[in-house]
Structure 1
Amino acid sequence: MKKQLLTLLISLIGYTVYAQIPGNTPKYIVSFKNWIEQNPDYFTDTLSFKLPNNGIIWTYYNAQDYYTEDILTKLQPVLKKATNFPEKEERHYFLQPNFWESQLDYVAEDINRRYTSHRTSYTLGIPIGLDYTGGRFTIDAGFRMMADLKRFSLGASLTNTVFFTDRNEGGVNVHHNPFINAELEFRPYKRAISGLQLGYLTSPSGPVFQGQTFQINYRYFVKSTIQLKIGAVLTDDAKTLIPTIGVRFF
């Protein structure tokens, strides 16, 4: 009997906690959900936005951390473009400045990504970088085109890995290694942009790459124009693995 009462009590507590967080909210992390449960009186104010199709967006906040005017200024321009919001649906946002997923900027970005129409744009670039590959410093330069979607970018690039070797009679030899690459970039909110590059060498030249050669690189965007790169090259018909690190611009 005691076990049954304990199970019922746990179920009621769970129902109470669930009732504090309505359905159709962002996928809040566990620590934030726990914080809401431990601070049920924090959310003293609500502000709702009724859309033309009778959809409603609710925001819950504390007036000491967020001013109503700031919420209106941030969300109203985005809501005017939220033409994809489902008819008569409701969505709930909890605002708390100490968690990135409950900050006002995140709410605006979430509404923008979920409910506004997005036209694909295209970015053209001329990336250039300096790598350390196979015990040698190399120049990496080329051309790329990316299709910018809501959450990521997808595209292709042509890059040239250039090696330099000394000539016996003086001077240097320049070895060009052109790669055809597929590129994917992720743009999560409040986290650095990162990219993945997969490439195939069309014509090996120089002392490092031999036979069929492939490359895979991960890029971490320090700034919009500066990227750190780490990856590997599979050369000699994919029998030999060569690590590579470097920095890339644009």
Structure 2
Amino acid sequence: MKRLLLVPFLALLCAMQTYGQSVENPLSKNLQEWLDRDWPITDTLVFDFPNESALVLYFNNKEFTAEVLTEEFEPLLKTATKFPEFTTLSYRVANNFAPTSLKKVMFEMEKKYVPYVDSLEMTFPVGLDFTGGDFTPVLGFRALLNWRNFSLGGSITNTVYFPERLENNVKVNSNWFANAEFAWEFGNVQRSRRNIFGVGYLINENKSQLFSGTTMQAYYNRKVNKYVSIQVGIISTENFKTFYPTVGIRFW
């Protein structure tokens, strides 16, 4: 398919015209009646494709505007090179129910019509944790192999500990963890994974002043925006005899 050119336009449809169109995301009878009563269709947005196909969106103008929907769908549809020829597909968009929500409709479009290529993502997260009563800066390297909804990979992180000064000398104690990670973002077209679960093992060659014996960690990381995330976890040390809860912030 050639590069897509989108020509959106707004039109009012009466109820009989709307019901005459079948949609790809129908609701059950009771939910449909509820939606039609409280959030009736008032507007239609149509995206025309050069292969004589079209995408039709039905919506309520108190919930969405044509400009907002165009801004959301236009970047996605520019990559929808698997959209069938000589076909008109219709979707109801209303956030009241999961099958008609904006994110769900966009995800279905991406899943069916956007070619997906696995990718390797590499980042260098840095941040600050509160670990066992001390603030510990953290820095590291992460590599994830991305599929459509989830990623697998790992990271190497250094939890830096500053012990008490001796004779006014500041010592830096590095604690290197090797981590296996699973990241996911189910039901969302965003490539950036907002959830990461990891399990790590302390691989220090030098003796750690913060941890001793067999030391492992488990953590959950949640993105709050493109560059910032919150991480919570727990570290077991002294051969699983001592446990430190951790909470921190990450930037990347």
The one of the two structures with greater contact order (alpha-carbon pairs below 8 A, sep at least 6) is 2
Whole-angstrom distance in 2 between the partners of 1:39 and 1:97: 10
Compute the displacement of 1:67 (Å).
Answer: 6.7
Compute the displacement of 1:249 (Å).
Answer: 1.0
Structure 2 CA distance for partners of 1:60 and 1:207, relative to 1, 3 Å: same
1:213 is aligned to 2:201: no
Question: Identity percentage over the alignment?
Answer: 35
Whole-angstrom distance in 2 between the partners of 1:70 and 1:248: 31
Compute the displacement of 1:61 (Å).
Answer: 3.6
TM-score (norm 1): 0.69
Secondary structure (helix, strand or coil) at the match of 2:172 reads strand
Whole-angstrom distance in 1 between the partners of 2:174 and 2:65: 59
Greater alpha carbon shift after TM alignment, 211-220 vs 151-160: 151-160
Greater alpha carbon shift after TM alignment, 194-203 vs 118-127: 118-127
Q: What are the superposed Cα offsets for residues 147-188 of structure 1, whole Å, 9 maximum, x if unpaired?
A: 232222322111111111124333122211111111222234
Aligned residue in 2 for 1:138? 136
Tell me the C-alpha RMSD between the 2 structures.
4.1
Aligned residue in 2 for 1:229? 231
1:25 is aligned to 2:25: yes
Q: Which amino acid aligns with 1:246?
A: G
Counterparts in 2 of 1:104-143, with a 5 A limit?
Answer: 104=102, 106-143=104-141
Structure showing greater Rg = 1
Q: Which amino acid aligns with 2:201?
A: Y
Structure 2 CA distance for partners of 1:137 and 1:44, relative to 1, 3 Å: closer
Whole-angstrom distance in 2 between the partners of 1:125 and 1:83: 29
Aligned residue in 2 for 1:102? 100
Greater alpha carbon shift after TM alignment, 222-231 vs 151-160: 151-160
Whole-angstrom distance in 1 between the partners of 2:213 and 2:54: 61
Compute the displacement of 1:245 (Å).
Answer: 0.8
Whole-angstrom distance in 2 between the partners of 1:199 and 1:63: 49
Aligned residue in 1 for 2:200? 199
Structure 2 CA distance for partners of 1:166 and 1:111, relative to 1, 3 Å: same
Whole-angstrom distance in 2 between the partners of 1:77 and 1:224: 18
How many residue pairs get aligned? The number is 227
Gapped runs of 5+ residues in structure 2? 1-21
Contact 1:127-1:143 within 8 A present in 2 as well: yes
TM-score (norm 2): 0.68
1:38 is aligned to 2:40: no
